């Protein structure tokens, strides 16, 4: 693949050229040397309607025991930092919101927002926010991270779940990259950059795909 000399990193705005790599779908992915985000080339970003159709086919929901167990991976490390009087938000809840039901079992109130299925902008700020399997869908992370964080009050708790990358060569066979709607892949150093840029303090990262932050 040819280096993408016209693009800029959609997170940190570092200029190209980028030493493009191919993923399992033969898309062009650009690795940023500054923040370590790996992002899909503009030509490979899915159209909004195609995205919505893809998400609508997800069978995830409260009746899916596997999905419930998956979400609990995000809840468990966040739970010590949450109190019953807090108000939270599931940012990117999908067409079958489930996280709020699991949090309700612990006496926690959580509203739902999804750009495609529940598009009314929520009335924040919130005390906590979950973004489970969301940030890898961001086409413009430099716009979408601050937009998401604007809903969280200072001192609030942010829990992010996404599969991090470690080896560029692995993209050629990595199943996580086979989803056409996954267009932004984060390294642990990407989250270091995000913490510094947006004023986040790391509270927990025992699970390699879950980060719990406090907004400072």
Indicate the SS3 state at residue 83. Answer: coil
Q: Which two tokens stand for residue 88?
A: 């939270």
Domain architecture of the chain: domains with CATH: 46-215 (3.40.50.150)
8-state DSSP, 135: G
HEC profile of 93-129: CCCCCCHHHHHHHCCCEEEEEECCCECCCCCCCEEEE
Distance of CA 102 to the CA centre of its chain: 20
Q: Pseudo-torsion of CA 127, 79, 134, 161, nearest 10°?
A: 140
Q: Which two tokens stand for residue 200?
A: 């986040």
- Read off the pTM: 0.94
Q: Is the pLDDT of residue 145 over 80?
A: yes
Q: Is the pLDDT of residue 2 over 80?
A: no
Q: Mean pLDDT for the chain? A: 94
pLDDT digits (tens, 9 = 90+) for 58-100: 778 888 899 999 999 999 999 999 999 999 999 999 999 999 9
Task: Using a pLDDT cut of 90, give the percent of the chain over it.
Answer: 84
């Amino acid at each position: 693949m040819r280096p993408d000399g016209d693009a800029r990193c959609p997170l940190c705005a570092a200029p190209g050229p980028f030493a493009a790599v191919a993923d399992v779908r033969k898309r062009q992915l650009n690795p940023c040397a500054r923040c370590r985000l790996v992002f899909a080339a503009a030509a490979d970003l899915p159209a909004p309607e195609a995205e919505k159709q893809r998400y609508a086919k997800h069978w995830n929901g409260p009746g899916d025991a596997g999905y419930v167990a998956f979400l609990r991976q995000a809840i468990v490390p966040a739970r010590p930092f949450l109190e019953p009087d807090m108000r939270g938000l599931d940012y990117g809840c999908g067409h079958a919101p489930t996280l709020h039901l699991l949090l309700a079992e612990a006496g926690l109130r959580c509203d739902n927002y999804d750009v495609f299925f529940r598009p009314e902008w929520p009335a924040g700020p919130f005390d906590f926010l979950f973004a489970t399997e969301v940030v890898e869908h961001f086409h413009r992370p430099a716009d979408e991270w601050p937009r998401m964080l604007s809903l969280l009050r200072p001192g609030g708790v942010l829990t992010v779940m996404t599969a991090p990358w470690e080896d560029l060569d692995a993209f050629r066979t990595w199943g996580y990259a086979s989803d056409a709607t996954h267009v932004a892949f984060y390294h642990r150093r990407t989250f270091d950059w995000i913490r510094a840029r947006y004023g986040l303090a790391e509270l927990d990262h025992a699970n390699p795909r879950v980060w719990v932050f406090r907004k400072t």
